[in-house]
Amino acid sequence: MLDLAFVRENVERVEEKLAERGVPGGLDSFRKVDLERRRLLTEVEALKNRRNRASEEIGKLKQQGVDVQDRIRETRTLSDEIKRLDEEVGKLDEELRQILENLPNMPHASVPIGSSPKQNREVRRWGEPRQFSFPPRPHWELGEALGILDLARAAKITGSRFAVYWDLGAKLERALANFMLDAHGREHGYREVLPPAIVNSASLFGTGNLPKFAGDLFHLENTDWWLSPTAEVPLTNLFRDEVLDAAELPIKLMAYTPCFRSEAGSYGKDTRGIIRQHQFQKVEMVKFAHPDTSHQELESLTNDAEAILQKLGLPYRVVLLCTGDMGFSSAKTYDLEVWLPHSGEYREISSCSNFESFQARRANIRFRTGGKGKSEFVHTLNGSGVAIGRTWIALVENYQQEDGSIVIPEVLRAYLDGAERITAEGRLVPK
RNA sequence: GGAGGAAUGGGUGAGUGGUUGAAACCGGCGGUCUUGAAAACCGUUAGCGUCGAAAGGCGCUCGGGGGUUCGAAUCCCCCUUCCUCCGCCA
């Protein structure tokens, strides 16, 4: 959420910035409602002042034993008028609140302007896509053939866009999680957290998922609970309504959690395989940073995610999203895209964003320097470090052999009882 | 799930209708004293909104929301969270 006073004082600049994001319509209704609200507010506050003085007076007179019936009657009329005006102000408050809550964040100056992913800017590449001496197969074929991935049975027990992993397929998922948590914990200084996978609407409001994007989420019937779409939500909200000490910043947290997305509106997209799932697991990194250094923190956060792909030997590129492709809450986002041989393209595997004070304002997360002075909103950041399901895909596809087996990268073997290769030998799954 | 109890400023904790936005203590900050420090003493110490060029007004805020009243931290209703006891349970 943007700051009310800031928007008021910079309406035109805000309008320009939002136009860059392709937000239709200007801020005319904002101007109108804001003005009218303030006009009414001064009016009703003047009346309240009169009422307060009158009440005080009545109290005094009553103690002196003076008859105050007339005074009371007058003041009652005043109170009625106040009540009426208060309701009007309330309506305008609500209108203004809705306008503000539905404005996306302003893009950082370094973000390229554009309306589609085509205007995203590739920042760097790492690794060379492997040259295959045979036609590489997609992960769903390899996985089913090896008996480590089972989409048919997942559809039976739950539905489409769910997966069952067997044997080394399941273990690989667990190995990846542990490998990533260890790397970020030991080498990058993130503290591990295990949060709830169900969150309330206040938390989702804080990160900017609600009220606008309820359709992307799973809602638990007759409750205020939702399945968390990413650990960003619980982690960021850990410090909701709290004041942190500047000396503690940056605070770096990570969590391995399931993530749930309704994927409404993506029918027909990525229908094969496990690219797009209703449930997937992810290691997520979240930072609470000082405003002065948050953009440096974004760079290092992105590097931390990249380190995972490098250790796994997976070719990727880093893309700076343009204004039109960024998420609602973000001021600047880098996507990491990993190379997928079956489609011969780079696909998103991590998204690293600086939200600046946008989420902090919504969630009321502040910091104070030396325990004194005025508190300020922190800057929040997060990034996938990285999405496990898609890493699983990338490994299977990039390390596939002509015989359909998968070579396990060196760094993961310790997490898989020393296994060097996944083969169909001894498969458990009935065909 | 059932029965009770609680929620006040950075902390502890007073306060059951009228100068209480809130005592007292602790903590924080500034000062006096001291070679320095401690102790002691004095002073100071909420947030948001709104008007104003400023100085400074004014309004709102005692878990959240509604109500009663000329007037609510105080009375009534609803909700949330926490605690205790009973039941159930991985």
Which of residues 232-251 of A have CB within 7 Å of strand B?
A: none
pLDDT digits (tens, 9 = 90+) for A121-136: 999 999 999 999 999 9
User: Would residue A351 show up in a list of annotated catalytic residues for this protein?
Assistant: yes
Q: How many CB atoms lie within 10 A of CB A215?
A: 9
In the predicted model, what is the mean pLDDT of residues A83-87?
86
* Residue A338 located in a structural domain: yes
Q: Based on the fold, state whether residues A308 and A168 are members of the same structural domain.
A: yes
pLDDT tier at A430, thresholds 50, 70, 90? confident
* Residue A112 located in a structural domain: no
A11 touches strand B (CB under 7 A): no
pLDDT digits (tens, 9 = 90+) for A322-371: 999 999 999 999 999 999 999 999 999 999 999 999 999 998 888 877 66
Q: How many CB atoms lie within 10 A of CB A339?
A: 24
* Residue A427 located in a structural domain: no
Q: How many CB atoms lie within 10 A of CB A147?
A: 21
Please determine, for residue A265, whether its predicted confidence score (pLDDT) is greater than 80. no
A45 touches strand B (CB under 7 A): yes
Please determine, for residue A90, whether its predicted confidence score (pLDDT) is greater than 90. no
Provide the residue range defining the domain that includes A187.
117-422
Query: For residue A135, what are the contacts with CB-CB under 8 A and spacing of at least 6?
Result: none
* Residue A429 located in a structural domain: no
A374 touches strand B (CB under 7 A): yes
User: Would residue A124 show up in a list of annotated catalytic residues for this protein?
Assistant: no
Q: Based on the fold, state whether residues A94 and A138 are members of the same structural domain.
A: no
In the predicted model, what is the mean pLDDT of residues A223-246?
89
Cβ contact A239:A287 at 8 Å: no
Q: Which nucleotide is nearest to A80 (CA to C1')?
A: B70
Which of residues 129-148 of A have CB within 7 Å of strand B?
A: none
pLDDT attached to residue A221: 82
Please determine, for residue A21, whether its predicted confidence score (pLDDT) is greater than 80. yes
* Residue A248 located in a structural domain: yes
Which residue bears the tokens 């895209």? A337
ipTM above 0.90, yes or no: no
**A29, A228, A281, A298, A319 from A304: Cα distances, Å:** 43, 23, 18, 10, 15
Beta bridge partner(s), residue A320: A121, A334
A72 touches strand B (CB under 7 A): yes
* Residue A108 located in a structural domain: no
The dihedrals phi and psi of A322, each to the nearest 5 degrees, come to -85, 170
Q: Exposure of A85 by Cβ count < 10 A (0-12 exposed, 13-18 middle, 19+ buried)?
A: middle
Query: For residue A184, what are the contacts with CB-CB under 8 A and spacing of at least 6?
Result: A190, A254, A283, A285, A304, A385
- Of A294, A350, A351, A353, the active-site residue reads A351
User: Would residue A8 show up in a list of annotated catalytic residues for this protein?
Assistant: no
A84 touches strand B (CB under 7 A): no
Output the distance from A223 CA to B89 C1' rounded to whole Å. Answer: 22
CA–CA separation, A359 and A377 (whole Å): 9
Q: Which nucleotide is nearest to A75 (CA to C1')?
A: B70
Please determine, for residue A246, whether its predicted confidence score (pLDDT) is greater than 90. no
Q: Which residue's CA lies closest to nucleotide B45 at its C1' atom?
A: A372
pLDDT attached to residue A370: 65
Out of A44, A73, A101, a domain closes at A101
pLDDT attached to residue A372: 61
Q: Based on the fold, state whether residues A49 and A177 are members of the same structural domain.
A: no
Picking from A223, A256, A258, A208, the residue whose alpha carbon sits closest to that of residue A361 is A208
Rounded CA Rg of chain A: 27
Output the distance from A322 CA to B39 C1' rounded to whole Å. Answer: 63
Q: Based on the fold, state whether residues A92 and A145 are members of the same structural domain.
A: no
Out of A58, A76, A101, a domain closes at A101
Q: How many CB atoms lie within 10 A of CB A59?
A: 10
- Of A121, A240, A276, A421, the active-site residue reads A276
Please determine, for residue A373, whether its predicted confidence score (pLDDT) is greater than 70. no
User: Would residue A203 show up in a list of annotated catalytic residues for this protein?
Assistant: no
A192, containing H or E segment: strand A191-192
* Residue A390 located in a structural domain: yes
pLDDT digits (tens, 9 = 90+) for A23-64: 877 899 999 999 999 999 888 888 888 888 888 888 878 777
Q: Exposure of A315 by Cβ count < 10 A (0-12 exposed, 13-18 middle, 19+ buried)?
A: buried
Q: Based on the fold, state whether residues A69 and A126 are members of the same structural domain.
A: no
Q: Based on the fold, state whether residues A34 and A88 are members of the same structural domain.
A: yes
A79 touches strand B (CB under 7 A): yes
**HSE-CB of A245 using CA atoms within 13 angstroms:** 4
Q: Based on the fold, state whether residues A312 and A175 are members of the same structural domain.
A: yes
Q: Based on the fold, state whether residues A62 and A131 are members of the same structural domain.
A: no
Average pLDDT, whole number, for chain A? 91
Picking from A138, A117, A23, the residue whose alpha carbon sits closest to that of residue A335 is A117
Angle between helices A167-182 and A294-311 (to 10 degrees): 140
Looking at the structure of chain A, the number of domains it has is: 2
Q: Based on the fold, state whether residues A42 and A126 are members of the same structural domain.
A: no
* Residue A106 located in a structural domain: no
Q: Based on the fold, state whether residues A173 and A236 are members of the same structural domain.
A: yes
Residue A34's domain is classified under what CATH number? 1.10.287.40
Picking from A293, A297, A339, the residue whose alpha carbon sits closest to that of residue A318 is A339
A59 touches strand B (CB under 7 A): yes
Residue A312's domain is classified under what CATH number? 3.30.930.10
Cβ contact A325:A403 at 8 Å: no
Q: Based on the fold, state whether residues A9 and A75 are members of the same structural domain.
A: yes
Q: Based on the fold, state whether residues A271 and A338 are members of the same structural domain.
A: yes
Q: Which nucleotide is nearest to A63 (CA to C1')?
A: B18
User: Would residue A261 show up in a list of annotated catalytic residues for this protein?
Assistant: yes
Structure token pair of residue A291? 């405003």
A58 touches strand B (CB under 7 A): yes
